[in-house]
Amino acid sequence: MTNCASITMQPKILGMLGSGQLGRMSALAAYRLGIEVVGLAPDSDSPLAQVCPSVIQADYLDFGALDQLIQRCDVITLEFENIPYEALAYLGRSGKLRPGAELVGLTQDRLSEKQAIERAGLRPAPYRQVDSATGLARALQDLGGQGILKTRRLGYDGKGQQRVSTADNLEAVWRGFDQPCLLEGLVEFLWEGSVIVARRPGGVELQAFPLVENRHENHILSETLAPAPKAGVALAQEAERQARVLAESLGLEGLLGIEFFITSEGLVVNEMAPRPHNSGHWSQAGASVDQFEQHVRAVMDLPLGHPSVVCPTRMVNLLGAAATEQNHWLSHDGAQLHLYGKRSAKEGRKMGHVNILTPEGFAGL
């Protein structure tokens, strides 16, 4: 019998900006890897706080609290991108923030995001910058008389956007926005999909999850089918290639979710998010490594998992009161229920999701 000296294990500590369900599931993945988590968020009762014993309750612009996070953590990451850029830049100077402040700041503005997509040699939806009612009229003329007006900042799940045409009262439409916007031309797409890509610092390693199909209701993701049943091999490979190109172009350190419009003329990049993505939840049941663990591995500069489908999986978002139907899903064969611990089930609010293993495929869905 071999004698073993006692070894002291010094755990790494990951800082988490934000306290929602993506932070919660990322923290749970970190704990599996023996990594401790320290959160920072303004709210005290949150999905992250329910599973993380150490959350600094403070405003994101509380620089004393940011200093605490820097001192306590080896690496700092985020679970949503709309954190004040001043806070991101401050953390970035410590060398511990992944992904970096510049990348996250770029994705906070729809205009700079589309410009970054173009710089990578990829194709975004047609767009025009809009800063006035007159500018809106001119943009509509350029883009065929109709489009979707979007605020450049703080829009998500259909918020901060409106479909418009030259027939509308553009002065009234603009009064409802009255902030920097862009107009997106309408894209005739066959279906919507996404790819999630992970990249370690310095580009040491990069891995992409397979292309999935996303279905929306009222601009909110309702379900994801993985792998995308409508995608042939060539399309799936091209989507992964474009995701890799974008990750490299941005110098990604962490995880990036990229949404695509699939059109008859190829792929159009819709949006991207430098964090775990709702369309990646299926991976908790159906992939060889889930997106949350991959996120932790990437930012902590650990070897990445090789994501592959182990079983076709359907992810269903539970919005609002749908979260009360847990008994239905618990009795559903092959279903794995994830509730986020949110106290208030507002209409359209993401309260949880279900991953349904579907070994027979998606016929009829």
pLDDT for the residue 25: 98
Bond preceding residue 99 cis, omega within 30 of 0: yes
Indicate if 178 and 201 belong to the same structural domain: no
Do 238 and 293 fall within a single domain? Answer: yes
Statement to judge: residues 72 and 167 lie in one domain = no
Is 118 contained in some domain?
A: no
Q: Which residues in the chain land under pLDDT 70?
A: 1-5, 155-159
- The verdict on 353 and 267 lying in the same domain is yes
Express each pLDDT in 62-81 by its tens digit.
Answer: 999 999 999 999 999 999 99
23: domain CATH number? 3.40.50.20
Tokens of 38: 């320290």
CA 263, 231, 296, 320 torsion-angle sign: positive
Calculate the CA 120 to chain-centre distance: 19
Total domain count, the chain: 3
pLDDT in tens, 281-325: 999 999 999 999 999 999 999 999 999 999 999 999 999 999 888
Q: Which residues of the chain form beta strands (DSSP E)?
A: 13-17, 36-41, 55-57, 75-78, 127-130, 146-151, 161-165, 181-185, 191-199, 206-208, 212-217, 220-226, 254-263, 266-273, 313-319, 335-339, 350-357
Same-domain status, 302 and 350: yes
165 domain-assigned:
yes
Q: How much is the pLDDT for 203?
A: 92
- What CATH number is attached to the domain comprising 181? 3.30.1490.20
Last residue of a domain, one of 135, 165, 185: 185
Residues 202 and 293 in one domain: yes
Do residues 346 and 202 share a domain? Answer: yes
User: Tell me, what's the pLDDT at 157?
Assistant: 58
Q: Indicate if 155 and 285 belong to the same structural domain.
A: no
**pLDDT of 361:** 82
Residues spanned by the domain of 226: 191-357
